[in-house]
Amino acid sequence: MEHVDIVKMTGISKAFPGVKALNRVNLTVKKGEVHGLVGENGAGKSTLIKILMGAYQKDEGQIFVDGQEVEITGPSVAKQLGLGAVYQEITLAPHLSVGENFFLGKLPTKNGLVDWATVNSVARETLEQLDLDIDPRLRLKDLTVAQQEMVAIAKMVHERAKLVVFDEPTALLTTEETDQLFEIIRRLKEDGVAVIYISHRLEEIFRICDTVTVLKDGEWVGTLPVSEVDEDRLISMMVGRTLEDIYSIKRHKGQNVVLEVRGLTKEPRFRDISFELHQGEILGMFGLVGSGRTDVVRAIFGATKPDAGEITINGKRHNPESPQDGINMGIGFLPEDRKLQGLALKLSVQDNINLVVYPQIAKLGIIDGAEKKNRALRYIDELRIRTPSMVQRVDRLSGGNQQKVVVSKWLNAESEIFIFDEPTTGVDVGAKMEIYKIFEALTARGASIILISSYLPEVLGLADRILVMHEGNLAGIVGNDATEEEIMRLASGLDRKGTKEERV
């Protein structure tokens, strides 16, 4: 009888100098099962997978593949055992063709020459198996990120992998591309392939996984059928707090209007947008893809110039010609793509924290080194940025700590209005809670926040009011007592019946 367990890891331990990364962790993945693996950053997920894939060697424990105990001494052994992984950073050869990537190191030959017909026909056949319309002759680097990821999956299918690990696979994908990925995962499942699915996005765990294992601080917390657990319980297992606790921040909305927008228009992106932002308020902005949310705040900040409308900040007209004008008016903008637009990745934490204030801390064109250091240390301490030192390159930090560095940059600039665009993308539940506490601290000191988020529970849990957009139009402004259904109706352009719309 065929053994049901494809992979079984029992009592796995791993220590690094000064750190116990894993302590007697268990993981069993069955044939045709999609098994979620969740936990905060530092929970041990990556270490466990690296041991399974041969990148690290375990200190203790046993690994079984198809019921047989194995020693996975390197990545080549894992591959021979039928274990594969698709990482967030694609590990294929970008300058080679799709077909060549299928046959890396073992290109078929005919009469002493590479048999390109076989290379391309085999690759095309496998791609078509997964309903992927990708020319195998194209170079990998000429494909989109999503297509590269699909090629990596198809390569695993070609190599007849028994188990495939997906590590944060949707981090760079659109909603449509994510749907396509999930369809492929379902197909792998139908073919009996086992899948380990790692994601910070818990909604994906409930959508695609059969079983979920939770790790915390390097230890196994539990394994449960997804059908028997809800998001609240899963979060509680991960961080020791409930979903209600995560969004429980103190409200500080005042009466004073700090930002007034009237008739703001930038065709074809958005039109006739009007709203007010109060001191200490968190104003949520919600809308579906293409609704124009980010375009509106970019116009307020000065990154784009509107065609019409008025912006007033603290009673003064604001006609921004550039982001510097927004900065001068006390606006801090934390963009969705923090890596490309919010940070200088190759520079240190210290440099990034001081990026906006160099003119203030320079005398006769020479930067005051002591002041630069003091400011960096202040915010590293205040926001509890986890970094070995202030000279650590910012691209070496976790997503949550990178986000804290961006916040520090704008605190350092003494911003009074903060625009957060998808601030918790790519960060774990624990880091999200820390970011929410930063929101609470900012509003407590009188700052105001515009929060753009595609995750409705986050918007409802944090915002005092919610501005809903639909295809560039203001569909309505509701209180945080609105339901998800009411907000989705507005965001979808349906009638507003039943909404508690609040005009300003």
Same fold yes or no, 5-243 and 257-491: yes
Question: For residue 444, what pLDDT band results from cuts at 50, 70 and 90?
Answer: very high
Q: Where are the alpha helices (DSSP H) in 413-483?
A: 429-444, 456-462
Contact present, 365 and 372 (Cβ < 8 Å): no
Contact present, 456 and 203 (Cβ < 8 Å): no
Cα 434 to Cα 249: distance, rounded to the nearest angstrom: 11
pLDDT at residue 379, rounded to an integer: 85
pLDDT at residue 243, rounded to an integer: 62
Contact present, 436 and 455 (Cβ < 8 Å): no
Residue from 381, 355, 382 nearest 441 by CA:
382
Cα 479 to Cα 283: distance, rounded to the nearest angstrom: 10
Q: Which of 38-42, 61-65, 470-474, 496-500 has the lowest mean pLDDT?
A: 496-500
Domain segments of the chain as ranges = 5-243, 257-491
CA neighbours within 13 Å on the CB side: how many for 480? 17
Q: Is the pLDDT of residue 171 over 90?
A: no
Residue 186: both structure tokens together: 């379902």
Average pLDDT over residues 455-470: 91
Cα 154 to Cα 191: distance, rounded to the nearest angstrom: 13
% of residues, the chain, pLDDT over 70: 95
Residue with tokens 């996005």: 201
Q: What is the largest CA-CA distance in the chain?
A: 82
% of residues, the chain, pLDDT over 90: 44
Residue 47: both structure tokens together: 């270490």
Question: For residue 498, what pLDDT band results from cuts at 50, 70 and 90?
Answer: very low
191-241 pLDDT, tens digit per residue, is: 999 999 998 888 899 999 999 999 988 899 999 999 999 888 888 888 776
Cα 306 to Cα 460: distance, rounded to the nearest angstrom: 29
- Residue 67: other Cβ atoms inside 10 A: 11
Q: Is the pLDDT of residue 46 over 60?
A: yes
| Superfamily grouping for domain 5-243 | P-loop containing nucleotide triphosphate hydrolases (3.40.50.300)
Q: Is the pLDDT of residue 173 over 80?
A: no
pLDDT at residue 88, rounded to an integer: 66
Average pLDDT over residues 494-504: 46
Q: Is the pLDDT of residue 242 over 70?
A: no
Q: Is the pLDDT of residue 90 over 70?
A: no
Helices and strands in the chain: count of H runs, count of E runs: 17, 24
Q: How far apart are the first and last CA of the chain?
A: 69
Cα 180 to Cα 187: distance, rounded to the nearest angstrom: 11
Angle made by CA atoms 403, 461, 409, in degrees to the nearest 5: 20
Residue 501: both structure tokens together: 């719309």
pLDDT at residue 501, rounded to an integer: 41
Using DSSP, state whether 228 is helix, strand or coil.
helix
Looking at domain 257-491, its CATH class is alpha beta
Parallel, antiparallel or unpaired: strands 211-216 and 34-38: parallel
Which of the two residues, 357 and 258, has the higher pLDDT score? Answer: 258
